[in-house]
Copies of this chain bind each other. A is one copy, B any other.
Amino acid sequence: MPPARRHPTMADVAERAGVSVSTVSRTLRGLSNVSPDVRARVEKAARALNFAVSRHASSLVTGRTGVVAALVPTLDSWFMGSALSALGPLLRAADLELTVYVTPDLAERAAFFERLPARRNADALLVFSFDLTDEEIARLDDLGMPVVYVSQHADGRPSVYVDDGAAAEAGTRHLLHLGHRRIAFMQSAGPTGFSFSSHERLLGHRRALTEAGVPLDDSLVVAAPAADRRAVAEALGELLGLREPPTAVFAEQDELAVSLIWTLRRSRIEVPERMSVLGFDDQPVAELFDLTTVAQSPADMGREAGELVLSLIADPDADPARHVLLPTRLVPRGSTAPAPGADTD
């Protein structure tokens, strides 16, 4: 059995370079007060030994962990993938690592809030796309580290988000302009319930209707998980079975919209001739399906969140309620058209 080669430590580097451990530490962290020749020796020794500092040991003394934690409902979505991918380079530039807590269901979510494993093991937390209860937010408040809410607005706490409500209003207004009056809203039901954005979008949708004097009708609001084709078909069935079926559907999310278009096609209901479909996100698949949609940029959101979190780590009690509001825009494509027999505007 080989002698279980241990990782080299600073002491090894120090010995090899003929200096003290302190000097190695100072050198490796780039502090100025190290003479050039010593610096060279130390760096050479470190390279030769393939040395890397133990973040654990150093964070023990500095109190900083060098880790940013992210709490996400899943990684398996366009939004999370784009946002986190954009976040990566920022963190790396600041020499921070990213640890991810995935909470796919309510049990995992409860466990996270119960144990708060990030506590003491990260310098900051990014909370993505949840619809948190007040207790959960309170729990995060005394986590002892900066918490940034992403794709969610939390009162008095730093957040990065789009104005989902206003964006949805704009979407619904687009349909109203096209002469639609019976407009359904389809929510994306997840294992952890509806997201914060989901709620906001529905509210915005309703506001636009009310503003236009269109009566609200709860039977026009349905829900289905985008991935579950049968559920989508059932939700569509509900809508089509109404005494007065809708002429347009606003899907909370592109994947759901696309799934809906697919279902409509199978039922030989032409889009947009007999049914307009509007999405939200502008995922790549939207263009492929010629889907009119409300665009947002999760990559930008990830970047903004990253910058915010970096500034909070640098100065934890900076502006405690800094908000970054990102823009959305309507991307008109071919899945929406004037309502049958309606004058546009």
Interface, chain A (partner B; CB < 8 A):
5, 7, 50, 52-57, 59-60, 65, 67, 74-78, 80-82, 84-85, 88-89, 92, 97-102, 104, 108, 111, 115-117, 119-121, 142, 144, 227, 229, 255, 258-259, 262, 284-285, 287-289
Contact = CB atoms under 8 A, between A and B. Distances in A.
A105 to B, nearest CB: 9
Contacts of A117: 52, 97
Contact of A99 (B67, B80, B259): B67
A98 B100 contact: yes
Given A85-B74, A104-B89, A108-B92, A52 B259 contact: no
A59 B58 CA distance: 12
A314 to B, nearest CB: 16
A55 B92 contact: no
Given A89-B104, A104-B85, A120 B67 contact: no
Contacts of A121: 52, 54-56, 97
A171 B287 CA distance: 28
Nearest to A289: B288
Contacts of A262: 287-288
A7 B102 contact: no
A52 B116 contact: yes
Nearest to A227: B284
Given A89-B108, A98-B100, A54 B50 contact: no
A262 B258 CA distance: 14
